[in-house]
Structure 1
């Protein structure tokens, strides 16, 4: 049993590192690949290896996904908004600091997630029917706060509604897209890449990456603790709620932590939310038999292995992923020699081709619409957070009106 857990954790750390460092690739994609080779893993190693490898992939990915977000401005679907302050620090020559802050947040999210795990596992299942309904009102309140506090409330509402309509349309007609790999909604790739990724890449196509210098993490301990706690709570909540993703947690956090004025704190909080969400998603799977993400859905295809083995693999992955993230961040010092125009064009081309392969013509259509909407906020002095209507509006409709997400 222990041997299978260790083998699965090692496989997951390798795959999670690859998926985390590759722009546009989600942990669900690697979960789908593992699901495809599931029979071979069963024959070679036994059932425990598959579940632990998927779990370790998910946890490792939450650490390493800060790399393409910071240095290339390409969002992971789970942490779309955090790309903005992270990439901004990179443009100031502080990209390595941004990645280290993200790694610190993920480590805090893993630690706090373990502490909260028993509470969620034993106490929340009886309250689930009530939680499902109230979450829609919470999101409406958060949205109202964001719109009222924005510099241009009318435009903020327009961007939020337009992205919400696009998100609802994408979910309603998701069957028109190709489903090359199982797990999660494939249209999240073109939807969030268009809203948060391509506009940033196209805007910076003619720029250059400045020399990267690491001078330490410039955050006070109190700020680190506060951001880690806020991120863990947000990640824990969305990790438990059906239909939610870390993108929702990012939007909720944006109403409390300004990603323009407190960028470092926001990076840390969103990273903590991302990893805490992964840990609490495991609790939801075992306590409620509900899969909160594609990785958990892949695990649920078989009889669930013992919870202790899954949690051990998750902890091993977190312990390995933190130093790996720090190691990868040091490579940023060589980025100044790159041709940014050619690099950004290559990444844009890669994302378009990846969208075409994974989602087909309909995915490309969604990508084009999302890019058009995602280009509007900077033109009208509105924060890009309002593009999160693509995620929040469908969840509000599901929670309050009972309209299904899929």
Structure 2
């Protein structure tokens, strides 16, 4: 009789402990993802590398499922929370390089809380759409992968060609795209010259993109006191929410599955469709959705293709992997909690009222320069200076800053065509 009871209880007991491990991993991941998301210029990949370095100890303490859940939950949470520093401080990372522009502009108009809440809503909508789409990609796309691998470079050339031709100043647009592309290829090719204290060779993206889209913007930003922050509700209709979130999710799914692409590439493509200057709120919705969708599709690509699309997936590949469904549950739970956390953090906008913009900008620039030196050393500092100088050109030439995305797109094109420069 005792044996029968034991057998009957085993499935329930196993499921119960699996859920306990998922919840523990999710809560820890939300905490860590919130911390990494709030520190400007620090990507969750840095956190993943740190946790991976201590995996022997952490596996003993947490177990493989809880540790893997922690990593994935931190990645999902980071995609929500990173909108806070990008909005209020104007500092981008590799995933918010273009979306920071309209978000920070709204902050300078006193609508910073609305910008953060809009970004959180886009990420939440992406979670609802991306999870089932990721399952479909996992089931049906691996057979088509050879065709995808071949066509990436051609697709990007077509997109950027259209953007340049439609620009008000095609000559300046082409020049900025080309020079930023050369700078991006140079930076990635010689990334080994950086210190890589905790972020790996991809840490050089931090000074590259921060110079192009962060410091160069802060240097020409308004220098007076920040306006009073007030929240009057989300000024975006349901149709725009649905359309922009779906569009961003599809872009995030595409760049997350296709090789060599990133959310930054999706941001550039979305800029040609929506335009971050024409409709700021729609663009924030779309790019935030793309960022979160990219995280979910990265998990599907890991299990379907054994390809690691970001540092967190590299770290997961080094662990005894649980099932994809278990990690997806952790990701969904993390997204729900991260939305609540991000909305709560957005309410701190009122504390910025009356702060001197010049002093704040200087403090942020000094912080970023110091962080750049710590993460990448003298090489990163040189990249930061060059990127900042180049980032000032669009302002002086009155051209959209989107063409600075050549820093990411050109290396991806070279990678797609098998050119060994990067």
- For 2:224 and 2:375, the matched residues in 1 are separated by 30
- For 2:387 and 2:104, the matched residues in 1 are separated by 20
1:310 paired residue number: 327
SS state at 2:132 partner: helix
- For 1:182 and 1:211, the matched residues in 2 are separated by 36
State whether residues 183 and 294 of structure 1, in contact with CA within 8 Å, keep that contact through their aligned partners in structure 2: no
Aligned residues: CA RMSD: 1.3
State whether residues 210 and 336 of structure 1, in contact with CA within 8 Å, keep that contact through their aligned partners in structure 2: yes
- Matching of residue 129 in structure 1 with residue 167 in structure 2: no
What pairs with 1:206-245 in structure 2 (closer than 5 Å)?
206-245=223-262
State whether residues 203 and 376 of structure 2, in contact with CA within 8 Å, keep that contact through their aligned partners in structure 1: yes
- Matching of residue 403 in structure 1 with residue 419 in structure 2: yes
Cα distance change of structure 1 residues 127 and 28 upon mapping to structure 2, 3 Å threshold: same
2:156 paired residue number: 139
1:343 paired residue number: 360
Cα distance change of structure 1 residues 183 and 129 upon mapping to structure 2, 3 Å threshold: farther
SS state at 1:242 partner: coil
Q: Normalising by the residue count of structure 1, what TM-score does the alignment of the two structures yield?
A: 0.97
2:85 paired residue number: 68
Unaligned runs of 5+ in 1: none
- For 1:371 and 1:122, the matched residues in 2 are separated by 44
- For 2:159 and 2:280, the matched residues in 1 are separated by 19
Q: From the CA coordinates, give the structure whose radius of gyration is larger.
A: 2
- Matching of residue 271 in structure 1 with residue 288 in structure 2: yes
- For 2:44 and 2:57, the matched residues in 1 are separated by 20
- For 1:17 and 1:182, the matched residues in 2 are separated by 18
2:349 paired residue number: 332
Superposition deviation, residue 205 in structure 1:
6.5
Superposition deviation, residue 223 in structure 1:
1.1
Unaligned runs of 5+ in 2: 1-17
- Matching of residue 290 in structure 1 with residue 307 in structure 2: yes
1:81 to 72, 75, 98: 98
2:14 paired residue number: none
Q: Normalising by the residue count of structure 2, what TM-score does the alignment of the two structures yield?
A: 0.94
What pairs with 1:28-177 in structure 2 (closer than 5 Å)?
28-177=45-194
1:18 paired residue number: 35
User: How many residues are aligned here?
Assistant: 405
SS state at 1:51 partner: helix
Superposition deviation, residue 357 in structure 1:
1.0
2:211 paired residue number: 194
Cα distance change of structure 1 residues 12 and 173 upon mapping to structure 2, 3 Å threshold: same
